Structure 1
Amino acid sequence: MTTRAQLRKTALTFREVEEDTTAGVLRYSVRGKEFASLTPDGVVRLRLPGAVAAEAVAAYPNASRLSHAGRSIGFQAPLAEVGGQHLWALVMAAWKHRAPAKLAADLTAIVDAPAQPVGDLPRSIGKPATRALALAGVTTLDQAATWTEADLLALHGVGPKVVRILNEILAEKGRSLG
């Protein structure tokens, strides 16, 4: 069962995301363009291109097209029914769909990059954590050192093992996390 906290963590992974609540609806936007929201009754709404929305609707029995002014603009379904990994892919697609072209291209470059360490980040933190850190603009140990453990753990793809590894490497250099 996917939760509100998981949606939040996923949405806030991407760059320049703003979060607000209006009339009980939790909204996520990039540069003023909403890409995801959650209604008070637990329905997640994602702004998606047509083909992605159609696939998402087909994947869930209680899902439907999200429409505005008679045209399809995305997908909606009970959040609890959407699988966590699928939610990640859908939120990323929604963010890319609504983000300015340059930001979307930067994300595509990071996601499509070979599984190599970025900057001087250690290979041992793994591809998901490397990608999550790069998405957040952290590509070096010096940049990682400015983050707190709590902030790192809030990134989708960064877990306690990654924080431990970063702490150990930084300690060897006489440094620590922010």
Structure 2
Amino acid sequence: MTTVTQLGKAALALPEVEEGTHFGMVAFSVRGRGFVSVTKDGRVQLRPPQEETDAALAAHPAGEPLVRTGAPIGFRVPLADIDGKDLNALVRAAWFSRAPKRLAAAQAAAGSPGGDLPAGIGRPATQALRGAGVMTLEQVAQHSRAELLALHGVGPKAVRVLSEALEQRGLALRGDSPMDS
């Protein structure tokens, strides 16, 4: 079961996202353009591109199209009926569809292969870090242990592997010293 907190972590890990409310719902926007919200009855509303919406509808029988003035604009599903991995992918797709083109292009370039993050942190942690714009160990060192653990997909093992890789380079997480690791 996915929670609103997990949804928030996924959304806020993306560039220039702001949390607010929209008609009394928890909502997330990028430069003023809403891309995901949660209704009071616990349904997550996402605005991914149409092809992502169609795939989500096929994959989640409890989901339904989100329609405004007769036109499909997204996907709605009970938050409890979607797992974290699927939700993260849909949040990211919705962000890309609503973000300004230059910001989306910069994020896509940052998320492309490259950087020096160790493979041992795992794919979810790698995706979470890239989603937050962290591509290199030097960028990892600018964050605290708590900040990294707050990213959905980054767990204690990933932080340990990152700390070890930083130590090998004479670096440490913000707030740690290289000798403490």
Normalised to the residue count of structure 1, the TM-score between the two structures is 0.85
Aligned to 2:39: 39
The RMSD of aligned alpha carbons is: 2.2
In 2, the alpha carbon distance for the partners of 1:133 and 1:111 equals 9
Q: Deviations over 1:41-72 (max 9, x none)?
A: 10100012223222222333332111222221
Residue of 140, 143, 156 corresponding to 1:144: 140
Aligned to 1:153: 149
Q: Deviations over 1:76-129 (max 9, x none)?
A: 11111112221122111111110111222233344453xx5x1x4334334433
Identity %: 51
My pick for the range that moved more, 17-26 or 37-46, is 17-26
Residues 107 and 133, structure 2, Cα contact 8 Å, conserved in 1:
no
In 2, the alpha carbon distance for the partners of 1:61 and 1:126 equals 30
State the SS of the aligned residue for 2:37: strand
Gaps of 5+ in 2: 175-181
* Equivalent AA in structure 2 for residue 93 of structure 1: A
Residues 47 and 94, structure 2, Cα contact 8 Å, conserved in 1:
yes
My pick for the range that moved more, 149-158 or 165-174, is 165-174
Aligned to 1:134: 130
Displacement, 1:172?
Answer: 4.6
Displacement, 1:163?
Answer: 0.9
Alignment of 1:90-129 (within 5 A): 90-113=90-113, 118=115, 120-129=116-125
In 2, the alpha carbon distance for the partners of 1:155 and 1:4 equals 14
Change (3 A) 1:128 1:109: farther
Displacement, 1:23?
Answer: 4.7
Displacement, 1:166?
Answer: 2.2
* Equivalent AA in structure 1 for residue 136 of structure 2: T
In 2, the alpha carbon distance for the partners of 1:84 and 1:151 equals 19
In 1, the alpha carbon distance for the partners of 2:153 and 2:77 equals 24
Alignment of 1:65-80 (within 5 A): 65-80=65-80
Aligned to 2:178: none
Change (3 A) 1:134 1:72: same
Change (3 A) 1:48 1:175: closer
Residues 110 and 135, structure 2, Cα contact 8 Å, conserved in 1:
no
